[in-house]
Amino acid sequence: MTDPAPDTDATLLVCCEDRPGLVAALAQGLYGLGANILDASQHTDPVAGKFFQRIRFDYSELAGRGVSPPSLDRLEAAIGLVAERHGMSWSLRYGAEKKRVAIFVSRTDHCLYDLLLRHRAGELTCEIPLIVSNHEKLRPVAEQFDIPFHCFPVTPATKPKVEEKQIALLREQRIDLVVLARYMQILSEDFTSAFASQIINIHHSFLPAFAGGRPYHQAYERGVKRIGATAHYATGDLDEGPIIEQDVIAVSHRDSPADLVRKGRDVERAVLSRAVQYHLEDRVLVYDNKTVVFD
């Protein structure tokens, strides 16, 4: 992982149909404006015929080429021209702009504590303006970290109205990323569509194995020798969204379902935090219900 981006760093993500000259076109366009490329990674999917690139660059010298921070209009216009010429979809984020993250939880606190401690230690460069839950149990954790806590009790009858209120709150708070840190509610398609590729869920199994409820118990009944966790973007299809990160640990016939739950928590914490960090550092591109995750 790289250190947090200074105020004059920016990260460009690009996706398009693969063709010759794409790397050169982007590099020359940035060079012509006086940008200094700090890191560049690209990937081509030969089956899909897709090209992907992540470029992190320093724009502190752009003012000498007639570009005036902080508007940077000419920089974005120049990138837009290259993108239009080559049919690229692209996004650009400035390092000075911290993403705003909302954490959704229910009653389980291990993933919540891990994220908050990593954030306090400076490992996750973002703002966390709120924690949302369907229970009051974890309010003391939010208070411990001095983060506003919003409780929305949910029943099948009230769920549509509750989600409307949650979406309104997230938009009011200008939230860029929602992290489902063991939030034990299935989000509707309306909710996931409102924040497409902006909701990361941690599922306590190595998907596609043991999707749905009680995966550790399913694993116990199947007698598996490895259990895992999967961080993925949430979509309208339960546990079917694009996978960002996964990991496994060994278990044995001696382990009870409770043992699997206990051992699995360590994997869940690590996998979720890595996925959140990848997203915050703009290392993830989504396509065809899959992801490219740049090193």
Residue type, 25: A
- Compute the Cα dihedral for 102, 104, 108, 110 and give only its sign: negative
Distances (CA, A) of 224 to 85, 203, 212, 265, 283: 51, 17, 17, 17, 32
257-280 and 215-222 helices, crossing angle to 10°: 130
CB–CB of 99/127 below 8 Å?
yes
Helices assigned H by DSSP within the chain:
22-33, 73-86, 110-120, 139-144, 159-172, 189-194, 215-222, 257-280
Quote the CA–CA distance of 181 and 106 in Å, as a whole number.
8
Between CA 153 and CA 161, with CA 159 as vertex, the angle to 5 degrees is 95
Is 282 considered catalytic here?
A: no
The alpha carbons of the chain give a radius of gyration, in whole angstroms, of: 21
Query: Cβ–Cβ contacts within 10 Å for residue 195, how many?
Result: 19
Quote the CA–CA distance of 45 and 24 in Å, as a whole number.
18
Quote the CA–CA distance of 175 and 100 in Å, as a whole number.
5
Quote the CA–CA distance of 275 and 277 in Å, as a whole number.
5
Q: Please identify which of the residues 239, 255, 266, 288 carries the catalytic annotation.
A: 239
Token pair, residue 80, equals: 């837009």
Q: How many CA atoms lie within 13 A of 1 on its CB side?
A: 17
Quote the CA–CA distance of 205 and 248 in Å, as a whole number.
9
Q: Which residues does the annotation mark as catalytic?
A: 239
